[in-house]
Structure 1
Amino acid sequence: MTLQAKLDAFKADFEAGKPPYNVPPSVIETMHRATAELIASGAAARALKAGDKAPAFTLKNPEGQPVLSADLLANGPLVVSFYRGVWCPYCNMELQALQAALPAFEELGASLVAISPQTAVNSRKSVRQNELGFPILSDTHNDVAAAFGLRFELPDYLIDLYKGLKNDLPAFNGDPSWTLPMPGRFVIGQDGTILYAEVNPDYTRRPEPEAMLPALRRAATVAA
């Protein structure tokens, strides 16, 4: 089953209010409204695209050690996936799909990192819960996400909904702002050029990991 098929199946059960979710229709309507407004804002069109230069970054892994994009790129191309947090079931399914594709990435000489605004303890939970073999990096304040054009502020009505659902993002992320990254996937060549970019303001839609393989093959050819 493809990643998107798994996401669609989960979404159907969640929005139907099936146990254990039991989500009232009003919650689903609010989530749909927020997604529709983010799509209509055109934010995704302003994110970095293939051909742009990727911002260099230094972020900490769950052990508090700095990870530099320049160091990763010195070894080969880099796959970067921005996600919302371990509280997001769609993100967890995406991380699991990326883990399954990791051997194919590594065979082409690429590294993989995932970036979220969550604190180190929640990043460790992401790694543990999803049995990941690649680093999760903490992007405090979503600063790196902003440099890629992904950061957005949650509208007040969605903040109220999250609070009602006990989804306290400021506590979860160690940051008082109510911001998140749009899910984004990038392949960065060793010269810092973005070779593949996929950004979707609808967090229930994620590209298949295999979609990055042509860009990684091109990067491997250039490196050779």
Structure 2
Amino acid sequence: MRTLLSFLLVFLIAQGSYSQDKPTGLSAGDAAPLFTGKDQAGKTVSLKDQLTKGPVVLVFYRGYWCPYCNRYLKKLEDSLSLITGKGASLVTITPEKPENIARTIDKTKATYAVVHDEGLKIMKQYGVNYAVDEKTIEQYKQYKIDFNEVNGSNGTNLPVPAVYVISKKGKIIYRFFNSDYTKRPAVAEILAQL
């Protein structure tokens, strides 16, 4: 099943049907919009509070069903001590329902904050959200991935899996933004910004 799903994801990229709106995201030098959300333990996570401790690595991911997301989130977990060793914290944002965040945690063993983006507020503030087109929705349903079920009230919306490093002063000092969801920045590249 995993190989089949990976093949499907690569196929969708080749067909160009992974996004219709082509979001552009925020840029380095922009002020990072402040947000508050609930993490996997139901704890409130506030960007403002996190920034009082140091820089923040902010990662947007699509869901437990995405093998590329899971591999990347696991890499981040494996490198978490390197990130925190530089005085930074790691926060991830997802449109998936809290019960599906638990599935992500099971797959990745993430111990950092995984925040449910209720109402897509954070994704919209950072300009990473897009509505999945109908053709892609139907293709994913063939593999038992129903975005309405996975995301609940967030519906058929996903983020570009962007990564931002936000300075203690609240400015974006690094951005990785690529609509090809198979591409993610190396951890070493993130560490170099901290």
Report the TM-score, using the length of structure 1 for normalisation.
0.79
Count of aligned residue pairs for this structure pair: 193
> What is the aligned partner in structure 2 of residue 10 from structure 1?
none
Aligned alpha-carbon RMSD (Å)? 2.1
- Residue 21 (1) aligns with residue 3 (2): yes
Q: Is the 8 A contact 1:86 1:122 kept in 2?
A: yes
> 1-side partners of 2:8 and 2:31: how far apart?
42
Q: 2:150 aligns with which of 172, 180, 184?
A: 172
Is the 1:140–1:174 Cα contact (8 Å) retained in structure 2?
A: no
Q: Which runs of 5+ in 2 are unaligned?
A: none
Query: Which digits, 9 at most, give the CA deviation of each residue in 1:59-81, with x for residues without a partner?
Result: 11122222111111111110111
- CA offset digits 1:88-125 (Å, max 9, x no partner): 00000000111122111111100001111111111122
Question: Is 2:37 aligned against 1:59?
Answer: yes
Against the structure 1 CA distance between its residues 135 and 195, is the aligned structure 2 distance closer, same or farther, given a 3 Å change threshold?
same
Distance 1:152 1:175 in 2: 15
- Amino acid paired to 2:104: S
Alignment counterpart, residue 118 of structure 2, candidates 136, 140, 143: 140
* Deviation by residue 1:123-167 (Cα, 9 ceiling, x = unmatched): 122122211221111012322111111001111111111222211
Q: Residue 210 of structure 1 corresponds to which residue in structure 2?
A: 188
Judge which range, 152-161 or 122-131, deviates more.
Answer: 122-131
For 2:14, the equivalent position in structure 1 comes to 32
- Kept in 1, the 8 Å contact 2:19–2:133? The answer is no
Provide structure 1 residue ranges, at least 5 long, that are not aligned to the other structure. 1-18, 217-224
Asked if 2 retains the 8 angstrom alpha-carbon contact of 1:34 and 1:155, the reply is no
- For the pair shown, the structure with the greater C-alpha radius of gyration is 1
Aligned to 1:8: none
Other-structure match for 2:71: 93
* 2:12 and 2:18 in contact (8 A); partners too: no
Residues 75-94 of structure 1 correspond to what in structure 2 (within 5 A)?
75-94=53-72
Q: Which AA in structure 1 matches 2:29?
A: G
Task: Tell me the TM-score normalized by structure 2.
Answer: 0.90
Distance in 1 (alpha carbons) for counterparts of 2:152 and 2:19: 26
**Other structure's SS at 1:215 match:** coil
Larger proportion of helix: 1
